[in-house]
A and B are shown apart, each in its own frame.
Chain A
Amino acid sequence: MSIPGLLPELEVIRKDFPILERVLDGGRPLVYLDSANTSQKPQVVIDTMVDHLEHHNANVARAMHQLGAESSEAFEAARDKVAAFIKAPSRDEVIFTKNATEALNLVANTLAWRGDLQVGEGDEVVITEMEHHSNIVPWQLLTERTGATLRWFGLTDDGRLDLSDIDELITERTKVVSLAWVSNMLGTINPVREIADRAHQVGAIVVVDASQAAPQLPVDVVASGADVLVFTGHKVVGPTGIGVLWGRREVLEALPPFHGGGEMIETVRMERSTYAGIPHKFEAGTPPIVEAVGLGAAVDYLGHVGMDAIHAHEQAITAYALEGLRTVPGLTVMGPLDAASRGGAISFEITGVHPHDVAQVLDSRGIAVRAGHHCAKPAHARFGVQSSTRMSSYLYTTPAEIDALVDGLNYTRSYFKLGE
């Protein structure tokens, strides 16, 4: 079946992802609806990483031999590809980290130390109630350590940011505003630019967690209004172990180093050291080289398919899924109900069946979803639930897989003997 907006060559795209051919125990074909958790990898990413390990492996920036040069070139080429993917004004503003969590911790941690951007007593940091734990806990640590105050935007009943008190929340005391571009639980796409403009009026820096946005929206870091933007490699069809921190040059230069070690220095004496410029100032130690190379191939792949086309596909699948989920008795979707204002992660609950049990029954039919609090306990608490089931699509998801989910949910209800 075809619906408007789907990627025109969906079957070809699916062939790029070998795992989608996987048959699970008992002969069940895989229906992978857990891409917001981690995305699957196309053959080109796998091949690029294998090729690097087979033919070019060496440490980067410190090996004076041919392999070292090849490895360094591949690693730095990945930085160029990522810079192009997010339209960064300068490749030097792209820092490789372990993941988005490390990128957020890098910022929240270094803001505690002496410098132009230092957060201290009397200052305020503003986040939102729909953040992933990785965009809550680092800011709790920062404010607890410095005596600053943590504040947050609440949520409306339909799962959007409640901006009615924005002028009370973002004030002259605000030093940092940090928020998700797209919620990993509610799917909501937040008005990042509007909030960033308000934050900039009071001189605050804006940190954007684009972990769920980078996979499905075209990203232009400057247009977004962010001063710092982070995302993780494994959700954009790249490998695990690699994340990205982009920051405006002035911000990155004003922040002190995070990890100390090799590669981040200019010179080291026993009394004190001086530091390298960005990006290397924030890349101490041997970096995740093959992971960066894989990420470069991944964002190249997404760029080739086209982020506008991927976004349209996600919206079409999300609209189709919202329609299908509506037909399941007792099912409540959390977050916005119109596909246009949300991403491809849809969390829901079914009266009378716990999310774990939903996920278990779906798994017995080959359907992979996530169940639990999705590292967003406060957002669940806001809606009076402890956990939820989440389906999440990506560029390889088909309407037939959504049909399989809806059938599986109806089967789940009958398995637990729930009436109509």
Chain B
Amino acid sequence: MDLDSLYQEIILDHYKHPHHAGLRDPYEAEVHHVNPTCGDELTLRVHLADGVVSDVSYDAMGCSISQASASVMADLLIGKDVDEAMSIHQTFLELMQGKGQVEPDEDVLGDGIAFAGVAKFPARVKCALLSWMAWKDATAQSLEKEKA
């Protein structure tokens, strides 16, 4: 396996200098997700305002892939309409589950395309998805609260 296809320069940059890290107020939902096989942990908060993802903040402990993924995700989703963010989420999910056969769309995924190589390493896919699954969970909870 080609190590450089997994550890793209963009991933290592985000790992060393994560964007939007730290937990912030205000938020409607906070979730705590863990990867039981490896112990990676993530606390993530979502703040929605007028149908827009106005903040995603997080505190993550984990490997370079999971940390960089949280950083890239926050970059991508903050400021987007919830519907658009959900659609980006779906596109990233398809990329990760594509076993390396899916051509990533840079217009949609931005730095997220760097994770295309991760899809070829089945053991690492769940590292890349940890923060995305947490975001979806937190966003769903926020939306429910809005309704209630």
Chain A positions within 8 Å of B, measured between CB atoms, are: 25-26, 353-357, 360-361, 363-364, 371-373, 377, 380, 386-387, 415-417
Contact (A354, B63) CB under 8 Å given A25-B1, A360-B6, A360-B124: yes
CA of A26 to CA of B2, assembled, Å: 9
CA of A377 to CA of B63, assembled, Å: 17
Contact (A372, B1) CB under 8 Å given A356-B65, A357-B64, A360-B6: no
Name the residue of chain B whose CB is nearest to the CB of A372: B38
In the complex, are the beta carbons of B3 and A356 less than 8 A apart?
Answer: no
In the complex, are the beta carbons of A373 and B1 less than 8 A apart?
Answer: no
Q: Which 6 pairs between the two chains have the least Cβ-Cβ distance?
A: A356-B63, A354-B63, A373-B39, A372-B38, A364-B3, A387-B39
A-B contact pairs, 11 of them (CB 8 A): A353-B64, A354-B64, A357-B63, A364-B1, A371-B38, A372-B37, A372-B38, A373-B38, A386-B39, A386-B62, A387-B40
CA of A380 to CA of B61, assembled, Å: 14
Q: Which residues of A contact B37 (CB under 8 A)?
A: 372
Asked if B59 is an interface residue, CB under 8 A from chain A, the answer is no
Known interface pairs A356-B127, A387-B40; 4 further A-B residue pairs with C-beta atoms within 8 A, sorted by A's residue number: A360-B121, A360-B124, A372-B37, A386-B41
Q: Which residues of B contact A354 (CB under 8 A)?
A: 62-64, 67
Contact (A415, B63) CB under 8 Å given A373-B39, A386-B39: no
Which residue in A353, A364, A377 is a CB contact (below 8 Å) of B39? A377
CA of A372 to CA of B40, assembled, Å: 9
In the complex, are the beta carbons of A415 and B65 less than 8 A apart?
Answer: no
Asked if B27 is an interface residue, CB under 8 A from chain A, the answer is no
CA of A380 to CA of B1, assembled, Å: 30
Q: Interface centre among B3, B38, B61, by most A CB within 10 Å? A: B38
Asked if B12 is an interface residue, CB under 8 A from chain A, the answer is yes
Question: In the complex, what's the smallest C-beta–C-beta distance from B54 to chain A, in angstroms?
Answer: 30
Question: In the complex, what's the smallest C-beta–C-beta distance from A183 to chain B, in angstroms?
Answer: 17
In the complex, are the beta carbons of B39 and A415 less than 8 A apart?
Answer: no
CA of A355 to CA of B63, assembled, Å: 7
Q: Which residues of A contact B62 (CB under 8 A)?
A: 354, 356, 386
In the complex, are the beta carbons of B40 and A386 less than 8 A apart?
Answer: yes
In the complex, are the beta carbons of B1 and A356 less than 8 A apart?
Answer: no
CA of A387 to CA of B6, assembled, Å: 21
CA of A371 to CA of B40, assembled, Å: 11
In the complex, are the beta carbons of B3 and A387 less than 8 A apart?
Answer: no
CA of A354 to CA of B38, assembled, Å: 11
Contact (A380, B3) CB under 8 Å given A354-B64, A355-B63, A416-B12: no
Q: Which residues of B contact A380 (CB under 8 A)?
A: 39
Question: In the complex, what's the smallest C-beta–C-beta distance from B35 to chain A, in angstroms?
Answer: 9
CA of A360 to CA of B2, assembled, Å: 11
Q: Interface centre among A26, A360, A373, A380, by most B CB within 10 Å? A: A360
In the complex, are the beta carbons of B3 and A360 less than 8 A apart?
Answer: yes
Interface digits, B35-75 against A, CB 8 Å rule (1 contact, 0 not)?
00111110000000000000000000111110100000000
Q: Which residues of A contact B39 (CB under 8 A)?
A: 372-373, 377, 380, 386-387
Name the residue of chain A whose CB is nearest to the CB of B41: A386
Question: In the complex, what's the smallest C-beta–C-beta distance from A376 to chain B, in angstroms?
Answer: 10
In the complex, are the beta carbons of A361 and B3 less than 8 A apart?
Answer: yes
Name the residue of chain B whose CB is nearest to the CB of A25: B1
Q: Which residues of A contact B64 (CB under 8 A)?
A: 353-354, 356-357, 416
Q: Which residues of B contact A360 (CB under 8 A)?
A: 3, 6, 121, 124
Q: Which residues of B contact A371 (CB under 8 A)?
A: 38
CA of A362 to CA of B63, assembled, Å: 15
Question: In the complex, what's the smallest C-beta–C-beta distance from A351 to chain B, in angstroms?
Answer: 13
Q: Which residues of A contact B63 (CB under 8 A)?
A: 354-357
CA of A361 to CA of B3, assembled, Å: 7
CA of A355 to CA of B61, assembled, Å: 12
Q: Which residues of A contact B12 (CB under 8 A)?
A: 416-417
Q: Which residues of A contact B40 (CB under 8 A)?
A: 356, 386-387
CA of A372 to CA of B41, assembled, Å: 12
CA of A363 to CA of B123, assembled, Å: 12
CA of A356 to CA of B7, assembled, Å: 12
Question: In the complex, what's the smallest C-beta–C-beta distance from A408 to chain B, in angstroms?
Answer: 12
